[in-house]
Amino acid sequence: MKFAVFCSGRGSNLLALLKAYESGFLSGAEPVAVIADSHYAGALNVGREFGVYSSFVPRTAYHDNREGFEKRLLEVLAPFEVDLVVLAGFQRLLSGYFLSKFPLRVINIHPALLPSFPGSHVWAKQIDYSVKLTGATVHFVDEGVDSGPIIIQGAVPILESYDAEALSEAILTVEHRLLPQAVRWLAQGRIEVNGRKVILKDLRGSLKDKSFIYPPLD
């Protein structure tokens, strides 16, 4: 299975994926292309450091022309014949036009426990709401905003001391574990989708504690 990674930021999730690939964890899923839509995306450097083809497709060159932008993304992807597109901090919505080329083959990582807090800049929103447990979600991408079927989630407590940056860091440590796991399951053909239901075949891990409470009970 060949996959591309789309990024807009520093690329720490991309780094987690590339390290997982190098360690053999991705079960044969091979990262073949990185596309960043922002010139400042550190992800381009991360991709290049690992010898993965890394391309800058500037979103700003396509004002009010999402289709033009997506056509360019597809052109860049075409020679690689990827089976999967991973959105790792990609801050753009993809339209049905793009998604129809990869049915149930685009996944995204989001820094909240969906369906709560979809959208952008969700760290401060969760702190302001006084949410106690948040986390990260890997989900299939549909035409909505962070609304596609959920593959895996991990929970993180929001400590009193956290500002948005500290919360983002705490959630990232979970993101870096979830995203390679989801790619591995897809490569192994262990994910079955039936409408909104996503079923992991051949469950291998075990749950030590079935609840997670924060603040902790006395």
Q: Which of 70, 72, 107, 175 binds ligand GAR (CB under 6 A)?
A: 175
Q: Which residues pair with 54 in a beta bridge?
A: 34
Distance of closest approach, residue 147 Cβ to ligand GAR, in angstroms: 12
Span near ligand GAR by CB under 6 A; candidates 66-74, 86-94, 159-167, 185-193 = 86-94
Q: Which of 52, 99, 172, 174 binds ligand GAR (CB under 6 A)?
A: 172
**Would you call 178 exposed, middle or buried from its count of C-beta atoms within 10 A (0-12, 13-18, 19+)?**
buried
Over its C-alpha atoms, the chain yields an Rg (Å, rounded) of 17
User: Of 39, 63, 110, 121, which is the active-site residue?
Assistant: 110
176 is catalytic: no
Q: Does residue 11 touch ligand GAR according to CB under 6 A?
A: yes
Query: Between residues 60 and 199, which has the closer beta carbon with respect to ligand GAR?
Result: 60
The neighbour count for residue 38, using CB atoms within 10 Å, is 19
Span near ligand GAR by CB under 6 A; candidates 5-13, 47-55, 94-102, 200-208 = 5-13
3-state helix, strand, coil in the chain (%, to 5): 35, 25, 45
Q: Which of 88, 141, 178, 187 binds ligand GAR (CB under 6 A)?
A: 88
Distance of closest approach, residue 132 Cβ to ligand GAR, in angstroms: 19
Indicate if the alpha-carbon torsion angle 12, 13, 15, 20 is positive or negative: positive
d(Cα 5, Cα 9) in Å, to the nearest integer? 12
d(Cα 106, Cα 98) in Å, to the nearest integer? 10
Q: Does residue 141 touch ligand GAR according to CB under 6 A?
A: no
Q: Does residue 13 touch ligand GAR according to CB under 6 A?
A: yes
Span near ligand GAR by CB under 6 A; candidates 4-12, 28-36, 75-83, 200-208 = 4-12
Q: Which residues pair with 56 in a beta bridge?
A: 36
Query: Between residues 133 and 188, which has the closer beta carbon with respect to ligand GAR?
Result: 133
The neighbour count for residue 62, using CB atoms within 10 Å, is 16
d(Cα 46, Cα 26) in Å, to the nearest integer? 18
Which parts of this chain interact with ligand GAR (CB under 6 A)? 7, 9-13, 88-89, 91, 109-111, 120, 168, 172, 175
Catalytic machinery residues:
110
